[in-house]
Amino acid sequence: MSVIIIGAGPAGCEAAYRLARSGESVELIEKEAEIGGNLNNWYQLFPDRKQAADLKAKLRKNIEHPQIHLHLKSKPVAFSRQGDGTIQLTLDDGALITGKALLVASGFRTFDAHRKEEYGYGIYENVITSVELENAFINHQINTSTGHAPKRIGLIHCVGSRDEKICRLYCSKLCCVTAVKQAIELREMLPEAEILCFYMDMRMFGPGYEEMYREAQEKYNIKFVRGRLSEASEDREKRLIIKVEDTLVGKPLKMTLDLMVLMVGMEPAEGNDQLISMLNLQTAPNGFIQVSDPHSGTNCTHQKGIFVTGCSSSPMNLTDTLTDARSAAVTISEYLNS
């Protein structure tokens, strides 16, 4: 009997590979037609600027392991247990999969920026998200809606995170460093542009992050303004007029931008609530899956034999996601051998 993994993003692929290497057979279920999850929307990784496509290729190669059976375009629709505890999962194509343990690696989705209407996403053409900027990097093209190279670009931190108005109090952890990385990439592509990051406070906790932040200021001349965007509007030339409260000097600030990038945070994955309900799991206060203990049970849920990894339980960066997936594989191996 196998270990069932829901989600073939970085966490699911890494856990599948580690479990297969330790002798387990794995049923890896992915709702999309391709593996990789949110990694597919990334151009370069931080802090080493490694190509996201290279990491995905490595994950892809790893899951070609003979012990891993990949189900693409598949979603679980029903869950049950047999008397001996065996897990049964029915997929939307009618297939029935049984397993000794189940790992949820369903990941996250990015915040829908339409919900911050005052920022003008979906209303003004020159307001884009950090995900759309990554795609522009992949295509090597950064232009305004009128086809010009932007002369002044603002990156807005904490969009969909740390925001009482939309009931998202948590920090998404990776958008500060993403903003710094994207600001540097913009500088390399547009050496003449003025680039500003508007932040609440800088959360650069990972190895190499602080150095990258310093380099962004000293070597790449990125300006960091401590302040929160209150609203955006548009002039006749489709330039954006933004109002920001500069919280360091305590003054309101008004300026025009050619392009505004919203650093969208993380939300629980699409279908998270249905999955929690189907598997009889618990929802954490931040809407992600509740783990059994925040210190010693970070890969365990309140259901025996059901485990969780990566951003299914809370926002985390890619490095921590891969580490967490290896931790989940060890936890499951111990459970199966106990």
- CA dihedral (275, 273, 131, 210) in degrees, to 10, reads -90
Counting contacts by CB under 6 A, is residue 168 touching ligand SF4? no
Only segment of 43-51, 108-116, 141-149, 155-163 that touches ligand SF4 (CB under 6 A): 155-163
Counting contacts by CB under 6 A, is residue 156 touching ligand SF4? no
Only segment of 13-21, 170-178, 185-193, 212-220 that touches ligand SF4 (CB under 6 A): 170-178
Nearer to ligand SF4, 258 or 267 (CB): 267
Counting contacts by CB under 6 A, is residue 328 touching ligand SF4? no
How many chain residues bind ligand SF4 (CB under 6 A)?
13
Counting contacts by CB under 6 A, is residue 116 touching ligand SF4? no
Per the CB < 8 A criterion, the answer to whether 306 and 99 are in contact is no
Query: x/- binding map, residues 178-217, to ligand SF4, per CB under 6 A?
Result: ----------------------x--x--------------
Counting contacts by CB under 6 A, is residue 313 touching ligand SF4? no
Counting contacts by CB under 6 A, is residue 56 touching ligand SF4? no
Contacts (Cβ under 8 Å, ≥6 apart) of 239: 126, 256, 257, 258
Phi, psi for 258 (deg, rounded to 5): -90, -30
Only segment of 85-93, 115-123, 158-166, 267-275 that touches ligand SF4 (CB under 6 A): 158-166
116/124 Cα distance (integer angstroms): 13
Contacts (Cβ under 8 Å, ≥6 apart) of 69: 2, 25, 26, 27, 28
261/64 Cα distance (integer angstroms): 37
Closest CA to 327 of 19, 35, 55, 27: 19
Provide the minimum distance between the beta carbon of 205 and ligand SF4 in the complex, in angstroms, as a whole number: 9
Provide the minimum distance between the beta carbon of 256 and ligand SF4 in the complex, in angstroms, as a whole number: 23
Q: Are strands 108-110 and 266-268 parallel, antiparallel or unpaired?
A: antiparallel
Query: x/- binding map, residues 260-299, to ligand SF4, per CB under 6 A?
Result: ---x-x----------------------------------
Cα angle: 30, vertex 39, 148; to 5 degrees: 130
According to CB under 6 A, which one of 126, 172, 301, 313 is a site residue for ligand SF4? 172
Structure tokens at 163: 């925001």
Provide the minimum distance between the beta carbon of 172 and ligand SF4 in the complex, in angstroms, as a whole number: 4
Per the CB < 8 A criterion, the answer to whether 252 and 246 are in contact is yes
Counting contacts by CB under 6 A, is residue 171 touching ligand SF4? yes
Nearer to ligand SF4, 313 or 317 (CB): 317
According to CB under 6 A, which one of 106, 126, 130, 161 is a site residue for ligand SF4? 161
- Contact residues: ligand SF4, CB under 6 A: 157-158, 161-162, 171-173, 175-176, 200, 203, 263, 265
